[in-house]
Structure 1
Amino acid sequence: MSNLKIVVGSSNKVKVNAIKNIFANYEVVGIAVKSKVSDQPISDEETIRGALNRALGAKRFGDIGIGLEGGVQQTSFGMLVVNYGVLVDEKSQVYLAGGSRFLLPNEVSKDIYKGKELGDIMDQYANKRNVKHDEGAVGIFTNNFVKRTEIFEHIGLLLYGQMVSGKNNININNNR
């Protein structure tokens, strides 16, 4: 096992477990870190910013910081669920990746326009508790063919691969 400590900027078990599944040979812990964006990010830009803020905050507690953030993006076809991740490595290089997108039913997206958070809407919609800490909206709307953990695992793999290759890192000083 490597001595690197990877910190996920969240205490959400879905996000932490996704990263643990990828970085199985490393110490991975989750720490609640503020995203410094709204509770329900409503654009790609805001969702990326939340992931970046979480990664930078998490990096203070370990060698590598990872931020994962879910949000929504309005399109002419309807509202999409979006997910992004940012990894800050031990050299403070920053990597960005996005995940799968899927369309929300209008009956769900209308409540987001009213200022509600998708996680709360999904609890009511599915008549369950803590959907965002379990299968997520993606699990509900795909009949569990795809789970939220899998989306964040895919993002984690994209981040890990970029870090290993040493390419595609972003300069956050130009994007603040």
Structure 2
Amino acid sequence: MYHVICATQNPAKIRAILAAFELIFGAGSCHIDAVSVESGVPEQPIGNEETRRGARQRVEYARNASPDADFWVAIEAGIDDASTFSWVVIENKHRCGEARSATLPLPKAILERVLAGEALGPVMSEWSGISEIGRKEGAIGVFTAGHLTRSSVYHQAVLLALSPFHNAVYH
């Protein structure tokens, strides 16, 4: 059984990570522990590089906190241009996998507030009336009428980041 450290305590992210690992490695193949670590970037990262750096740093800090695990995983959500997206970083003792998620265009009224310094989650919670929306369906759920959720989009990106760990061509 793989011991997986999630560098988050966000339920939407943990669900995505667990589902992807079980899809690739089999049901019951992993035990996940969630740890709270800093990203080293602002609460709302702006730009591709800052967001990616936040995910990489979360993995590093999680690895330092739990060095005996088999995998360390981080998901960092950010804003780039007029969209929201995330970076997934997964490491084990031998390799690293990274993937960027799909992007969601944001309405101008929401984007303006985020670019002025507010984090997307609280802005969306206020706008939608859904408390702690970032721990639930997220902006993605609201703007896709529930057809996609934050967790479902993260799930896809986690699967992509897992590619180097189960395909022999990467070895």
The answer, yes or no, to whether TM exceeds 0.5 is: yes
Q: Distance in 2 between matches of 1:47 and 1:160?
A: 19
Q: In the alignment, does 2:79 pair up with 1:72?
A: yes
Q: What residue number does 1:49 align with?
A: 53
Gaps of 5+ in 1: 170-176
C-alpha contact (below 8 Å) 2:70/2:92 kept by paired residues: yes
Mean Cα deviation higher: 132-141 or 157-166: 157-166
C-alpha contact (below 8 Å) 1:69/1:84 kept by paired residues: yes
SS in 2 for 1:35: coil
SS in 2 for 1:36: coil
Q: In the alignment, does 2:31 pair up with 1:27?
A: yes
- Can you list the C-alpha shifts for 1:31-74, whole angstroms capped at 9, x where unaligned? 11111100000101011001111112222312210010100001
Aligned ranges for residues 1-176 of structure 1 at < 5 Å? 2=1, 4-24=2-22, 25-60=29-64, 61=66, 62-74=69-81, 79-91=82-94, 93-165=95-167
Gaps of 5+ in 2: 23-28
Q: Distance in 1 between matches of 2:125 and 2:168?
A: 40
C-alpha contact (below 8 Å) 1:51/1:86 kept by paired residues: yes
Structure ranking higher in helix proportion = 2
Q: Distance in 1 between matches of 2:131 and 2:37?
A: 22
Please give the root-mean-square deviation of Cα atoms over the aligned residues, in Å.
1.5
Q: Distance in 1 between matches of 2:20 and 2:93?
A: 17
State TM-score, norm by structure 1.
0.87
Q: Distance in 2 between matches of 1:165 and 1:50?
A: 26
State TM-score, norm by structure 2.
0.90
In the TM superposition, residue 162 of structure 1 has moved relative to its aligned partner by 2.1
Q: Distance in 1 between matches of 2:96 and 2:18?
A: 20
Task: Using CA pairs under 8 Å that are at least 6 residues apart, name the structure with larger relative contact order, 1 or 2.
Answer: 2
- Can you list the C-alpha shifts for 1:3-26, whole angstroms capped at 9, x where unaligned? x21101000011111111122311
C-alpha contact (below 8 Å) 1:59/1:66 kept by paired residues: no
Q: Distance in 2 between matches of 1:90 and 1:114?
A: 40
C-alpha contact (below 8 Å) 1:16/1:29 kept by paired residues: no
Q: What residue number does 2:26 align with?
A: none
C-alpha contact (below 8 Å) 2:4/2:72 kept by paired residues: yes
SS in 2 for 1:23: helix
Q: Distance in 2 between matches of 1:51 and 1:112?
A: 19
In the TM superposition, residue 127 of structure 1 has moved relative to its aligned partner by 1.1
Q: What is the number of equivalent residue pairs in this alignment?
A: 162
SS in 1 for 2:162: helix
Q: Distance in 2 between matches of 1:36 and 1:148?
A: 22
Q: Distance in 2 between matches of 1:8 and 1:48?
A: 16
